[in-house]
Amino acid sequence: MVSPVSDDAPEGLQKTAGVLEVQASAEQEVLPADQAQVLNKMAKYQVPQRSGDIVMIQSEHTGAIDILSADLESADLLGDHRKVSPPLMAPPCIWTFAKMKEFKSKLGKEKNSRLVVKRGEVVTIRVPTHPEGKRVCWEFATDDYDIGFGVYFDWTPVTSTDITVQVSDSSEDEDEDEEEEEEIEDPVPVGDVERGSRSSLRGRYGEVMPVYRRDSHRDVQAGSHDYPGEGIYLLKFDNSYSLLRNKTLYFHVYYTS
């Protein structure tokens, strides 16, 4: 609690209180009685100078005064909504290999390992961490043309180990869809896919590797990443930069222990 200014208070503090009292008296003629009373009440309290002092907040509608400790500001009681940044991701291991025909032939016979990423689309493959695994691995290739690729991590509890595929018309549309479903923002790629899109990371998302155009039509692109914890990997195949060409994608995602 804060005590009223006493007679033996420092001279500077007495002057400050005196000025506030004079202002309150002068404004009583033009202010409603309840607001003038608020000003008189405020004049009795010290102005916060350091951590541990009080902070007074006056309502513009009711004139009521809330008295809070300045130490409580970090608890977001003063309306400062801070978002905790996700921890930094360790870099992935990436490599390529040249057995394109064998790779495409094998995956072409497997179910759900081949899809078409249409022009202007972004396909996100959501891969939950597995309780028996320690790292995620991926391999992919395309026919004739390259494609953008990046990996992100969603720090969210895993309720199912099923791998799912999400298709959107663009990165922005994908983010809007997820915000409507979860009311939580997704990584928003910013920049040129050819130079590498950096992401504006918010909330629970971390960036493993940004979206770059990969020569997946020349060599099989492969990589792995050790689990940073429980969550969901987001493997993004970005064809939003292409105005004319669809891309046939062959991919294989698995975990190892």
pLDDT at 87: 81
* Other Cβ atoms closer than 10 A to 39: 19
Q: Work out how many domains the chain is built from and give that number.
A: 1
Using the predicted structure, report yes or no on whether residue 59 has a pLDDT greater than 90.
no
* Other Cβ atoms closer than 10 A to 172: 13
What are the CA-CA distances from residue 20 to residues 28, 41, 61, 151 (Å)?
12, 10, 21, 59
* Amino acid identity, position 96: T
Q: How would residue 11 be classed by pLDDT, with cut points 50, 70 and 90?
A: low
State how far the Cα of 235 lies from the Cα of 78, in Å rounded to an integer: 39
Please, which residues bridge with residue 66 across strands? Answer: 57
- CATH number, domain containing residue 161: 2.60.120.680
Is 33 domain-assigned?
no
* Other Cβ atoms closer than 10 A to 205: 22
Q: Provide, for the chain, the percentages of residues in helix, strand and coil under a 3-state DSSP scheme, each rounded to the nearest 5.
A: 20, 35, 45
Q: Specify which of 7-21, 26-40, 53-67, 157-171 reaches the highest per-range mean pLDDT.
A: 157-171
Domain assignment of residue 233, given as a range: 93-170+202-256
Residues 198-207: tens digit of each pLDDT = 444 456 899 9
Is 116 domain-assigned?
yes
Whole-prediction pTM value? 0.60
Is 195 domain-assigned?
no
Is 194 domain-assigned?
no
**Angle at which helices 33-42 and 11-27 pack, to 10 degrees?**
180
pLDDT at 169: 82
What are the CA-CA distances from residue 13 to residues 4, 23, 32 (Å)?
11, 16, 27
Is 161 domain-assigned?
yes
Is 212 domain-assigned?
yes
Residues 204-256: tens digit of each pLDDT = 899 999 999 999 999 999 999 999 999 999 999 999 999 999 999 999 999 99
Is 209 domain-assigned?
yes
